[in-house]
Structure 1
Amino acid sequence: MTSKYRRGFEITRDSLRIFTQRPTLLVLPALSLLAVGSAFAVLGAIVVQRGLVASLLTNDLYKYGALFCAIAISSSVATFFNAAVVHCAAQLFDGNPTSVRDGLAAAWGARRQIALWAVTAATLGTVLYILDEKFGVVGSLTRMVFDLAWALLTFFIVPVIVLDERRSLRRQLRRSGSLFRDTWGESVSATLGVSFAFLLVALPGVALAAAGYFALDGAVAAGALVAGGGIVVAAIVGSQTVSAVVRTALYRYATTGAQVGPFDARDPDAVFPDG
């Protein structure tokens, strides 16, 4: 059992090496945040312009429709750019050259599976929200249980979409759940390792922003808020990038038994050539 957790932390360590050697992968999650933010800004402007704010608060049809759209947009965009990171990570693990453009092309090739996945996630998320809202404590407990089960079932869904030949969503979900069952110890420890590493990165940003808000004044306060917020956003983007790399490494470990691709037998300088 202990060896499972140790392997998970080792996978996190080696995935962080991918991140430090190819920081350009940060572009993909950054684009994801930008795209989601832009989409929500456009939708918000449309809602305000058409005077739908009151309807969203009082009309269930409008509210649930807006919730479905929000989940579908965020899920599809996040999955698309995570798929690009997964493709790049898989290529690097094989010792092949890759680029952000290659990752985006691979994600575009899986666009139908990504869209189907996003619609499914949005449908389930909306239904669970309705249960939570309409059925009190029972609905809340049901939502908590399903949220946890769904998170575990779909832990490997993006690597499966990108790297697996299965095209049926049912088969993809079964494959993802099976892989998590086989590697739950490694998956849990690797996820905790990534979270802890980037929490350490984010904490100085939180402290700086807090100082700017509570203790400083004027331009110094504004600068501290901006700098602190920038550090937190960078930590979020970095965490998303490394999480995608880690899940790719775990996917390879679960399907082949090889630990994090090239690091067992190859010189990292050969895996990450200059340029």
Structure 2
Amino acid sequence: MPSKYRRSLDITTESLDVFRQHTSLAVLPALSLLAVGSAFAVLTAVAFQFGIVDSLFTNDLYKYGALFCAFAISSSVATFFNAAVVHCASRVFDGEQTSVRDGLTAAWRVRRQIALWAVVAATLGTVLYILDEKFGAIGSVARLVFDLAWALLTYFIVPVIVLDHETGIRRQLRRSGSLFTDTWGESVSATLGVSLIFLIAALPGLVLLAVGYFVLHGAIAAGALVVGGLIVVAAIVGSQTVTAIVRTALYRYATTGERVGPFEAREPASVFPEK
């Protein structure tokens, strides 16, 4: 196995060790999924109640408005609960006691910044969707490029919001982009490693979902779908939690030079070697 993949696996394993010592943090991403699902269920019920379901597919104003709402809800909720995880992970790295309530309180303190960030992200997401839909291949390429650039630019946006207490979207983006470029821009292999590990963990669930839907029938099919769904949800929750732990550790090193959590016993060059 090439060394860079070996390093990625090592960092992922050590991040999982941190997670196993503080499994209560997984409650926060689970609440995030529950909140987003509940919000979408309410919006769907409202759409049926007012008879605008067909308009969501045929009327651009309704469609793009619904997309904006969906992006805003998912972005605000995900950022809020990720901010809670990042705060808790930072306290853990400082050797302090923390709790789900503590994380939620910290996220609530920056709720206005999170709401503003969600509006910006939703606006950009909607615009990119329109470009993709209206301009064919050119729009698709533009969306792909902007999506990638945005992901890199906002790599540290949640730690910047909750730990830096930086205000103003422009300053937050500049701070996040600077941290990524100056310190970790050469590689995000640890984050990719987390994604790979939890993708593998989700595979049994995906198989059960496929078998339950296409092959099985009756109660057995329902059981397979439920178990498969739970496995996939657990993998998503675990991935989000461990990713937040890794990203918080990266942020702490980027801003203070501290090697905490999964990087505590490692030299920086052994994690992300310089070119």
Question: CA, structure 1 residues 252+7, in 2 after alignment: closer, same or farther (shift >3 Å)?
Answer: farther
Conserved 8 A contact 2:26-2:241: yes
Q: What are the residue-to-residue correspondences of 1:111-150 with 2, within 5 Å?
A: 111-150=111-150
Question: CA, structure 1 residues 165+212, in 2 after alignment: closer, same or farther (shift >3 Å)?
Answer: closer
Q: Name the CA distance, whole Å, in 2 between partners of 1:178 and 1:45.
A: 43
Shift of 1:214: 3.6
Question: CA, structure 1 residues 7+204, in 2 after alignment: closer, same or farther (shift >3 Å)?
Answer: closer
Where structure 1 has 5 or more consecutive residues not aligned to the other structure, the ranges are 266-275
Question: Could you say what secondary structure the match of 1:53 adopts?
Answer: coil
Conserved 8 A contact 2:205-2:227: yes
Shift of 1:85: 0.3
Is structure 2 residue 174 aligned with structure 1 residue 178? no
Question: Could you say what secondary structure the match of 2:54 adopts?
Answer: helix
The corresponding residue for 1:207 is 207
Q: Please tell me the root mean square deviation across aligned C-alpha atoms, in Å.
A: 2.0
Q: Name the CA distance, whole Å, in 2 between partners of 1:89 and 1:59.
A: 44
Shift of 1:211: 2.9
The corresponding residue for 2:38 is 38
Range with greater deviation from structure 2 (205-214 or 60-69): 205-214
Is structure 2 residue 19 aligned with structure 1 residue 15? no
Aligned length: 263
Cα deviation code 1:117-161 (max 9, x no counterpart) = 000001111111111111222111111111110011001100110
Shift of 1:177: 0.8
Is structure 2 residue 245 aligned with structure 1 residue 236? no
The corresponding residue for 1:260 is 260
Shift of 1:172: 0.9
Q: Name the CA distance, whole Å, in 2 between partners of 1:227 and 1:262.
A: 31
Cα deviation code 1:168-210 (max 9, x no counterpart) = 2111101111111121244x10111101110121111122223
Identity %: 75
Conserved 8 A contact 2:11-2:262: no
TM-score, normalised with respect to structure 1: 0.89
TM-score, normalised with respect to structure 2: 0.89
Question: CA, structure 1 residues 263+147, in 2 after alignment: closer, same or farther (shift >3 Å)?
Answer: closer
Range with greater deviation from structure 2 (101-110 or 251-260): 251-260
Cα deviation code 1:16-53 (max 9, x no counterpart) = 12211111111111111111111111111111110111
Q: Name the CA distance, whole Å, in 2 between partners of 1:95 and 1:179.
A: 24
Range with greater deviation from structure 2 (243-252 or 13-22): 13-22
Question: CA, structure 1 residues 121+226, in 2 after alignment: closer, same or farther (shift >3 Å)?
Answer: same
Greater relative contact order: 1 or 2 (C-alpha under 8 angstroms, separation 6 or more)? 1
